[in-house]
Amino acid sequence: MRIEHIESFILHVPVTGASIADSTHSITHWGVVGARITTEDGTVGYGFTGTHAHLPSDQLITRCIDTCLAPLLLGENALDTERLWWRLARQPALQWVGRAGITTLAHAAVDVALWDLRAKAQQLPLWGLLGGAVREKVRAYNTDIGWLSLSDEALLRGAQTAVDEGYTGIKIKVGSSVERDLQRLRAVRRAVGEHITLAIDGNGKWDLPDCLRFCQAAEDCQVFWFEEPLWYDAVRAHAQLARATRIPLALGEQLYTVDAFAEFVGQQAVHWLQPDVTRMAGVTEVLRVIELAGAHRLPVAPHAGDMSQVHQHLNFSRTPCTVLEYIPWIRDCFEEPIRVVDGHYLPPQQPGASTTPTPQAWSRYRRPSA
């Protein structure tokens, strides 16, 4: 399957409500920044990374795809996902300017597009190509009800609605003030009862003393995990927090490499691994993280940076990937949108990685990629 053509694209898709906020970001749109790869036989693969829909920085990614990555791929065999991954990751000049960051996000988009092509060539959904389904449905947890920008009242209403819809897990944002977030956590726990899995996500905002104070006070709330309590790269601080609290720690949505995950695992600084194919260099690198997790008997909860279209395939085909985040912002942009019924993802059926955009999304949300 010779690669004949590569073209980048940018879609800006509105989020639920007018805007949402976590402790670090406030956004109105989600950016779907990707690559469309066409092979000699006319098969088309799509892959994308996820951004905060800021056109100037999105265009740095598309420029990297068009001018740095595409020339390395034209004429190559699209089925060689592993060989091409190394070709892109180790191109000397590119690696010099970007071992992580924009070049990795661009690489992610391309790698996902290649996996989409490979699965389409085999006429299999990606989970089938990856070895078949290890579970019939995947437990979803709903994050779209838990934003810091929601009033206390809206937060409780959303949590209740999610439970009524069949979700057995929800996640709420923290990282504003310790007191406010404790009070919101307690209120949500009271509202949903003790049997609902309740996770919290700090998005890297707090320092170690605030995290220690929060965790000490929250130990009776049955917190399923505390996600990104501290700055993304702070391995030793996470290890210190992990030793000080009974609340399990989750992280990974901001990590770029399997080496970064290995460091957290080695320092016993994490319990739940949350790799993201759109942040790391695609499915290829995330599969390495899942192997690492499995070898250490640690569970994986892929981040929903791609709003789950791709990640669902990992949950269906990899035993350590037990739960998956649910955020529906870009769902309706795709030919085969994620399906969550009764709080569980159902397996996608169409060949590929569920990344093919609809013509409607293409014309409605497309922004100039240069």
Which residues bind to ligand 0YR, rule: CB under 6 A?
Answer: 22, 25, 27, 143, 201, 203, 253, 303, 305, 325
CB of 94 to ligand 0YR, least distance (A): 26
Pick what 143 binds: Mg ion, ligand 0YR, none; C-beta below 5 to 8 Å, kind-dependent.
Answer: ligand 0YR
CB of 298 to Mg ion, least distance (A): 17
CA distances from 2 to 80, 122, 180 (A): 10, 15, 56
Pick what 25 binds: ligand 0YR, Mg ion, none; C-beta below 5 to 8 Å, kind-dependent.
Answer: ligand 0YR
Pick what 305 binds: ligand 0YR, Mg ion, none; C-beta below 5 to 8 Å, kind-dependent.
Answer: ligand 0YR
Residues 159, 173: Cα–Cα separation, whole Å: 12
Question: In the Cβ-directed half-sphere of 191, how many Cα atoms lie within 13 Å?
Answer: 21
Q: Give the residue at shortest CB distance from ligand 0YR.
A: 22
Query: Which amino acid would we find at residue 330?
Result: I
CB of 80 to Mg ion, least distance (A): 33
Q: Give the residue at shortest CB distance from Mg ion.
A: 201
CB of 42 to ligand 0YR, least distance (A): 35
CB of 291 to Mg ion, least distance (A): 22
φ, ψ of residue 199 in degrees (nearest 5): -110, 160
Residue 58 binds to Mg ion (criterion: CB under 5 A) = no
Query: 86: burial class by Cβ within 10 Å (0-12, 13-18, 19+)?
Result: exposed
For residues 210 and 325, which CB has a smaller minimum distance to ligand 0YR in the complex?
A: 325
Helix or strand holding residue 244 (H, E): helix 235-244
Contacts with Mg ion by CB under 5 A: the residue count is 1
> With CB under 5 A as the contact rule, which of the stretches 34-42, 88-96, 201-209, 354-362 interacts with Mg ion?
201-209
Q: Which of 118, 119, 107, 127 is nearest to 34 (CA)?
A: 107
Asked whether 158 and 146 are in contact (CB, 8 A), the reply is yes
Residues 58, 346: Cα–Cα separation, whole Å: 31
Residues 154, 257: Cα–Cα separation, whole Å: 37
Q: Which residues of 243-274 are buried (b: 16+ CB within 10 A; e: fewer)?
A: eebebbbbbbbbbbbbebbeebbeeebbbbbb
> With CB under 5 A as the contact rule, which of the stretches 97-105, 152-160, 185-193, 196-204 interacts with Mg ion?
196-204
Figure out which of the listed residues 201, 210, 276, 285 binds Mg ion, where binding follows CB under 5 A: 201
> With CB under 5 A as the contact rule, which of the stretches 55-63, 178-186, 200-208, 355-363 interacts with Mg ion?
200-208
> With CB under 5 A as the contact rule, which of the stretches 25-33, 197-205, 206-214, 359-367 interacts with Mg ion?
197-205
Residues 280, 332: Cα–Cα separation, whole Å: 24
* Binding positions for Mg ion, rule: CB under 5 A: 201
